[in-house]
Structure 1
Amino acid sequence: MGGVSKKPISNVEKRMKKEMEAQQKKASGKKTSKTGSEVISKNIVISNEMIKRVQDEIKKEKIITPYELATKSNITISVAKRILKELNSQGLIKESFKNRRTAVYMAA
């Protein structure tokens, strides 16, 4: 009977604010996650310098996990996993335990 009611001004303002923020994000070109932190590109190149730093860290420890390496070297866990897999394939370290979630490596 009543028909469609007008939306409150506060809702219209919120919608306009969201649209402006979306336009600014597109203009800046930087991606952000749901938490608001900036997303870093996943195409990280592993340099020889980084591998040497990791080897120094491995020499100090008896066992190493991707999490420990990531926290000590200030890199992401996915990069730490790739580095450890590479070192394992080269024979510099050996994999002592692995399940679907994580792997544990030992110095060779």
Structure 2
Amino acid sequence: MGGVSKKPISNIEKKMKKETDAQQQTKGKKKSSKTGSEVISKNVVIGNDMIKRVEEEIKKEKIITPYTLATKANISVSVAKRILKDLNNQGIIKENFKNKRTAVYISVQS
């Protein structure tokens, strides 16, 4: 009939202090994923030099997917998708096939 007793205030204070100390320590450290490798910031700025490098890679290939571009340009797949979508809107490449998971692009011969 008793039930669980509430924790003393001193224990709650100690727990809060540990949490704040842990947050302060993690601010100085880089984030890491579950595998232990470092997580790179998601705010990637796509510069003109990156666009030129991507266009050179596209000229070499007949078809290009976001995964192949990501591996060749050493960028993440999400950034590669965004670059390919922008280049498609500009008319530099043409979307040949698209489904729910991926898209296949071909270079436009000019």
TM-score category, normalised to shorter length: 0.7 to 0.9
Report deviation, 1:40: 0.7
What residue is the counterpart of 1:103 in the other structure? 103
User: 1:30-41 counterparts in 2 under 5 A?
Assistant: 30-41=30-41
Q: For 1:97 and 1:73, how far apart are their aligned partners in 2?
A: 22
Report deviation, 1:24: 8.1
Could you tell me whether the CA contact under 8 Å between 1:25 and 1:31 is conserved in 2? no
Q: Which TM-score applies when normalising by structure 2?
A: 0.74
User: Percent of counterpart pairs with the same letter?
Assistant: 74
Q: For 2:25 and 2:90, how far apart are their aligned partners in 1?
A: 43
- Kindly indicate whether residue 81 of structure 2 is the aligned counterpart of residue 76 of structure 1: no
Unaligned runs of 5+ in 2: 1-18
Q: Which TM-score applies when normalising by structure 1?
A: 0.75
Q: Mark the CA change 1:39 to 1:48 in structure 2 (over 3 Å): closer, same or farther.
A: same
Unaligned runs of 5+ in 1: 1-18
Cα deviation code 1:19-41 (max 9, x no counterpart): 9xx56851523111111111111
Q: For 1:76 and 1:27, how far apart are their aligned partners in 2?
A: 24
| Greater than 3 Å deviation, 4+ residue runs | 22-25
Q: Mark the CA change 1:97 to 1:29 in structure 2 (over 3 Å): closer, same or farther.
A: same
Could you tell me whether the CA contact under 8 Å between 1:66 and 1:102 is conserved in 2? yes
Q: For 2:51 and 2:27, how far apart are their aligned partners in 1?
A: 36
- Kindly indicate whether residue 50 of structure 2 is the aligned counterpart of residue 50 of structure 1: yes
Aligned residues: 88
CA RMSD of aligned residues (A): 1.7
- Kindly indicate whether residue 60 of structure 2 is the aligned counterpart of residue 60 of structure 1: yes
User: 1:80-95 counterparts in 2 under 5 A?
Assistant: 80-95=80-95
